């Protein structure tokens, strides 16, 4: 079996982690895999570093369709059994190439396509409808949660053409991380072991609900001066949130780190992991925290309730529920035993259910089914 994974190559978030983790495990179970991208970036560099075969066919602009003929020629010469797309740009190009290649082409839905481009009116008005149209051109769609599958069915997608594959993470992985003091010193922060550090790792876009995190932090520090808040991530909203923190006079309580390459050290350094997204699928930001046994609070969106059992392996709050988030932060910050209990429960539950090995084997079964059906 020979599979070509197609993604833009500019990805830095959960999609990057998902694709690289999946490809590595597929190779381990003797599936021949290649990665095709239309730009060079952190994603492609990391893939090459991991020994994954990468083909880059540059696309100058998002709507540069001159790249289509090059992609078709490459696929048709490659003797692939299936093309697996990820992300809006790959989906868009797939609309044009699907009739020019003679093998199945599928995609994975990593997020709610109606909410992916909320940061600017232009992107929301143009890119969201285009991605919606592109998705309907696929005969098969994989979703990373049951909630997303249900969402697509409600929007008119054929239930028989949808597959659910949960994201998986490597629990055999030994993190290469630095001590808390060293990690924080890199960002000019003096570590104090008497304080509680609450973190969020997310791209700084509106859909991630960073404003809710900042507002909850303001409420929490008014009641407990011993809590420090850490934001790891970059994006178009950086200046907005930086200004918000300054206007609230919280620069000594909320620290913005920008993009963090050493994400294991980040999770090691914090005591409580949070996610405040308005929309999510099955986020690696929570799985990575679970692997580090971190007590977790998240908004109850997408498939997160399929990952976290409220009150047993973490806490779930409603979107934009600043008060509810603050209450859970205060509860955990004041109870080390509870943090430890929830962190270990989350670790054990995710290890049993959401391993990267299980994710790869499920993909293999789906590939075999689709390829066999296409041969009929």
**DSSP secondary structure of 122-153:** HHHHHHHHHHHHHHTT-SEEEESSHHHHHHHH
**Res. 17 pLDDT band, cuts 50 70 90:** confident
Indicate whether 170 pLDDT > 60: yes
Distance CA 215, CA 250 (A): 10
Q: What is the mean pLDDT of the chain?
A: 92
DSSP state of 33: E
**Res. 375 pLDDT band, cuts 50 70 90:** confident
Contacts of 29 (CB under 8 A, 6+ apart): 360, 361, 364
Distance CA 374, CA 364 (A): 15
Q: Quote the percentage of the chain above a pLDDT of 90.
A: 77
When pLDDT is averaged across residues 300-321 and rounded to a whole number, the result is 96
**pTM here?**
0.81
CA atoms within 13 A on the CB side of 291: 22
Q: Quick one: which of 50, 129, 40 has its CA closest to 88?
A: 129
Residue whose token pair is 């996610």: 275
Indicate whether 242 pLDDT > 90: yes
Q: Which long-range CB contacts under 8 A does 142-146 form with residues at least 24 apart?
A: 142/106, 142/107, 142/108, 142/109, 142/363, 142/366, 143/108, 143/109, 143/281, 144/18, 144/108, 144/109, 144/110, 144/281, 144/282, 144/303, 145/281, 145/282, 145/302, 145/303, 145/306, 146/303, 146/306
| Torsion angle defined by CA atoms of residues 137, 143, 146 and 148, in that order, rounded to the nearest 10 degrees | -60
37-59 residues labelled b (16+ CB within 10 A) or e (exposed): bbbeeebbebbeeeebebeebeb
Domains of the chain: 2-168+355-375 (3.40.50.2000), 180-353 (3.40.50.2000)
Residue whose token pair is 């289509």: 68
pLDDT score at 65: 79
Distance CA 156, CA 252 (A): 49
CA dihedral sign of residues 340, 346, 347, 352: positive
Indicate whether 372 pLDDT > 80: yes
**Res. 281 pLDDT band, cuts 50 70 90:** confident
pLDDT score at 99: 87
Q: Is residue 269 classed exposed, middle or buried when 0-12, 13-18 and 19+ CB atoms within 10 A define those classes?
A: buried
pLDDT score at 66: 85
Indicate whether 302 pLDDT > 70: yes
pLDDT score at 339: 98
* Residue pair 66/85 in contact by the 8 Å Cβ criterion: no
pLDDT score at 133: 80
When pLDDT is averaged across residues 31-49 and rounded to a whole number, the result is 92
Indicate whether 343 pLDDT > 90: yes
């Amino acid at each position: 079996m020979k599979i070509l994974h197609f993604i833009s190559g500019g990805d830095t978030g959960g999609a990057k982690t998902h694709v690289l983790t999946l490809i590595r495990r597929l190779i381990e179970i003797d599936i021949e895999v290649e990665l095709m991208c239309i730009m060079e970036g952190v994603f492609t560099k990391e893939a090459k570093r991991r020994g994954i075969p990468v083909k880059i066919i540059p696309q100058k602009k998002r709507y540069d369709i001159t790249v289509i003929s090059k992609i078709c020629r490459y696929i048709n010469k490659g003797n692939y059994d299936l093309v697996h797309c990820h992300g809006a740009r790959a989906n868009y190009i797939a609309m044009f190439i699907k009739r020019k290649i003679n093998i199945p082409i599928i995609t994975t839905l990593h997020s709610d396509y109606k909410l992916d481009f909320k940061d600017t009116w232009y992107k929301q008005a143009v890119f969201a409808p285009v991605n919606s149209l592109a998705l309907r051109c696929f005969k098969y769609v994989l979703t990373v949660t049951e909630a997303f599958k249900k969402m697509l069915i409600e929007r008119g997608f054929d239930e028989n053409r949808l597959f659910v594959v949960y994201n998986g993470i490597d629990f055999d992985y030994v993190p290469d991380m630095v001590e808390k003091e060293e990690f924080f010193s890199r960002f000019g922060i003096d570590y104090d072991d008497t304080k509680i550090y609450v973190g969020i790792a997310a791209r700084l876009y509106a859909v991630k609900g960073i404003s809710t995190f900042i507002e909850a932090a303001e409420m929490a520090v008014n009641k407990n001066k011993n809590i420090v808040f850490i934001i790891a991530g970059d994006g178009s909203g950086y200046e907005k949130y930086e200004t918000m923190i300054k206007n609230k006079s919280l620069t000594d309580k909320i620290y913005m780190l920008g993009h963090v390459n050493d994400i294991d050290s980040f999770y090691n350094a914090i005591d409580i992991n949070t996610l405040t997204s308005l929309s999510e699928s099955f986020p690696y930001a929570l799985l990575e925290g679970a692997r580090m046994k971190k007590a977790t609070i998240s908004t109850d969106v997408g498939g997160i309730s399929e990952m976290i059992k409220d009150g047993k392996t973490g806490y779930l709050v409603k979107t934009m529920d600043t008060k509810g988030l603050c209450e859970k932060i205060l509860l955990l910050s004041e109870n080390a035993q509870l943090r430890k209990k929830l962190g270990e429960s989350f670790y054990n539950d995710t290890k049993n259910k959401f391993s990267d090995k299980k994710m790869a084997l499920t993909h293999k079964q789906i590939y075999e089914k689709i390829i066999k059906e296409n041969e009929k």
